Amino acid sequence: MQNPIVVFDLDGTLADTAGDLIATLNVILETENLPPVPLEQARELIGAGAKALIERGFLAHERALTPERHEELFDRFIVHYGNNLRVHSVLFDGIETALDRLEADGWRFAVCTNKIEKHSVKLLELFGIADRFKAICGRDTFPTFKPDPAHLLMTIERAGGDPRRAIMVGDSRTDIDTAKAARIPSIGVPFGYTDVPMHALGADTVIEHFDELYDAVRTIDGGRDRV
């Protein structure tokens, strides 16, 4: 049997990245003579990747984008954000201790995010934890991405994990819906980016702090039938 695995979303789950994402969005909006989006709107905008973030930012100003212009602005976003990944971004408190405890029990880890792969890897390297994850898979890693369950299942496979003993940790409807579609249990965190309360999204359990992750993982894993 392969290793049990915990798969994490990145933005709003492992790290608070809103400050840098919204700052880059506002640089893009400025080039179009649009006012900046307040950081307080981050929860409604972040969670589906940079392309969706740009589109949502323009919709907030009731401005539509042609597909061609969207692509141009996306390319600009990628360059600017790639140079400003960790100006304001920080890991959420308790994550490293939680990884230590689970790793000691034989769990391995992966990241399944709608952030592009090179940014995901670089950011986790800047945080000094990239080597904790057996796979870091972004929006562009495979032909499909969340909420398609194949994104999660292919991430588990790439990390050498056992889908029968996998758990998804995320902060948004996208993460929970992806896990449900893949028939993988999920743990929700309420401190990320969602316009719907995490308790209403149907995760198997919700934790308020990463201090609770170890027990939540043990409870879910212990309650499953072994094949």
Is residue 36 a part of any domain in this protein? yes
Give the CATH number, domain containing residue 104: 3.40.50.1000
Whole-prediction pTM: 0.93
Q: How far apart are CA 164 and CA 183, in angstroms?
A: 9
**Both 52 and 142 in a single domain?**
no
The catalytic residue positions are 9
Is residue 227 a part of any domain in this protein? no
**Both 8 and 35 in a single domain?**
no
- Over the stretch 168-207, which tens digit does the pLDDT of each residue have? 999 999 999 999 999 999 999 999 998 889 999 999 999 9
Distances (CA, A) of 53 to 21, 23, 114, 141, 159: 9, 12, 11, 19, 28
Is residue 28 a part of any domain in this protein? yes
- Over the stretch 1-43, which tens digit does the pLDDT of each residue have? 469 999 999 999 999 999 999 999 999 999 999 999 988 877 7
Domain count along the chain: 2
